[in-house]
């Protein structure tokens, strides 16, 4: 079943969310669920159904929905655009500075409105710049691919910035606090952005074809009461998520906190409406639920134990750093060709089990490093939504700004930059935090 579902996800023979819906059906029909006791006997269809459905809707899914609510409110009420426009108006006219500013804005936006919505926002902001560039300017493809790569990097930045982070949190026991996640992800993201920025300057040399560009204008406007309300809800929710470990005796876990923005934002139709709720990325939610169900089935059946034993034998004698390098390389290759989320769904449970079997267990370190690397796999146009969005952009004559060759000469090296940052700086910070 694992091979069958993985092939369907990898080839997209069926839509990803449809394959995810097959997981609980196949799990029960094939009788793969086993009792958790020593007998490890096969569960009947009724007990198996209860087990798999109880696993599918977890606190992690509520965290995903809470993140969607914050992203929808920030986008609908123009808060994300206002913040981004203000930052970009300070970037000046030097193409080097403007490129770095847009990349940092894309990464920051991805932290809160997801790395699906962030590139859409940034690409809308650069249209006035693209229209004023001279013919033959390399700044246009450089800026577009820079935003796409930075949005991928932003997928590492917070627990709600991409589905693979949600999957990683569900796999890690105990899950990291938001402070711990930021302590690892923010240095990694900043160094990745700086490394990719230098790479793009070396590849495209935009300052030679475009000495200066028109400065982004920002019209100062005061926030209205609805925007202030949304900002207050967002700040409250993020603070509660950050201090969740200290408040666990009250709120339980992050999933309960995620109910707060859902109630406060949807409780007032003028803030978020039923249509906004319907516009959530429900396919991503179903995909995450299917992945959790698959993980439970693989674990319950004993297959996860068997796979981990084989991989453990392969990495036997490797230091922890070497094991991290192996898994990061594996997920980098896989997620370059298939969805970041799908790659994480398949690989992260195995990574967790192998990490738990090491002489000194470091399951959480390996899972988080692998999850960050999933977002860092950005070498091809199909490697993540930001890349797909970028390669579809066209100029006024209908010519695409980017080609596949742009990703070969910039995307693949950018993935290598991310790999080395994660296995060095990321590994160092995670070791200091005793992951």
pLDDT for the residue 343:
80
Report, as ranges of residue numbers, the positions in the chain whose pLDDT lies below 70.
10, 37-40, 215-216, 218-219, 245, 304
pLDDT for the residue 154:
92
306 with 32: CB under 8 angstroms? no
User: How many CB atoms within 10 Å of residue 172?
Assistant: 20
pTM, to two decimals = 0.79
Whole-angstrom CA distances from 4 to 7, 9, 31, 125, 302 are: 5, 9, 16, 42, 17
384 with 412: CB under 8 angstroms? no
Helices (H), 358-399: 363-376, 385-391
User: How many CB atoms within 10 Å of residue 300?
Assistant: 21
User: How many CB atoms within 10 Å of residue 59?
Assistant: 17
Closest CA to 383 of 331, 429, 324: 331
309, two tokens:
């034993």
**Spatial CB neighbours of 260, under 8 Å, sequence gap ≥ 6:** 66, 233, 236, 237, 240
Residue 213 is given by DSSP the state: -
145 with 411: CB under 8 angstroms? yes
Cis geometry, peptide bond prior to residue 174 (ω within 30 degrees of 0): yes
Q: Which residues of 397-418 are buried (b: 16+ CB within 10 A; e: fewer)?
A: eeeebbeeebbeebbebbbebb
**Spatial CB neighbours of 409, under 8 Å, sequence gap ≥ 6:** 203
Whole-angstrom CA distances from 348 to 183, 291, 416 are: 21, 10, 20
* CB half-sphere exposure, 121, CA atoms < 13 A: 32
pLDDT for the residue 89:
76
pLDDT for the residue 218:
66
């Amino acid at each position: 079943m694992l091979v069958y579902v993985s092939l369907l996800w990898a080839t997209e023979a069926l839509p990803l969310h449809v394959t995810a819906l097959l997981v609980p059906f196949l799990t029960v029909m094939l009788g793969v669920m086993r009792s958790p006791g020593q007998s490890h006997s096969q569960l009947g269809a009724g007990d198996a159904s209860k087990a798999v459905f109880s696993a599918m809707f977890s606190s992690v899914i509520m965290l995903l929905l809470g993140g969607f609510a914050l992203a929808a409110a920030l986008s609908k009420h123009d808060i994300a655009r206002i913040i981004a426009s203000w930052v970009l108006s300070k970037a000046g006219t030097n193409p080097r500075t403007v490129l770095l500013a847009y990349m940092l804005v894309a990464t920051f936006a991805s932290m809160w409105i997801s790395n699906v919505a962030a590139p859409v926002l940034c690409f809308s902001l650069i249209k006035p710049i693209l229209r004023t560039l001279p013919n033959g300017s390399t700044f246009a493809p450089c800026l577009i691919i820079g935003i796409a790569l930075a949005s991928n990097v932003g997928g590492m930045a917070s627990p709600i910035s991409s589905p693979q982070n949600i999957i990683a949190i569900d796999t890690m026991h105990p899950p990291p606090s938001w402070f711990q996640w930021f302590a690892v992800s923010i240095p990694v993201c900043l160094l990745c952005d700086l490394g990719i920025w230098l790479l793009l300057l070396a590849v495209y040399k935009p300052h030679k074809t475009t000495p200066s560009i028109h400065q982004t204008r920002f019209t100062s406007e005061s926030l209205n009461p609805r925007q202030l309300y949304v900002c207050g809800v967002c700040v409250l929710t993020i603070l509660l998520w950050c201090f969740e470990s200290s408040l666990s005796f009250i709120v339980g876990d992050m999933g309960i906190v995620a109910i707060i923005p859902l109630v406060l934002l949807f409780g007032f139709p003028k803030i978020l409406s039923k249509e906004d709720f319907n516009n959530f990325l429900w396919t991503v939610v179903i995909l995450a639920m299917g992945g959790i169900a698959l993980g439970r089935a693989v674990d319950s059946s004993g297959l996860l134990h068997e796979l981990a034993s084989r991989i453990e034998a392969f990495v036997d004698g490797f230091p922890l750093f070497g094991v991290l390098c192996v898994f990061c390389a594996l997920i980098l290759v896989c997620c370059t060709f298939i969805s970041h989320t799908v790659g994480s769904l398949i690989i992260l449970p195995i990574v967790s089990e192998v990490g738990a079997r090491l002489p000194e267990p470091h399951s959480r370190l390996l899972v988080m490093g692998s999850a960050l690397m999933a977002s860092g796999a950005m070498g091809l146009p199909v490697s993540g939504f930001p890349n797909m969005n970028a390669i579809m952009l066209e100029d006024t004559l209908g010519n695409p700004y980017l080609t596949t060759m742009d990703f070969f000469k910039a995307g693949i090296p950018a993935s290598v930059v991310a790999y080395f940052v994660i296995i060095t700086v990321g590994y160092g910070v995670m070791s200091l935090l005793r992951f």
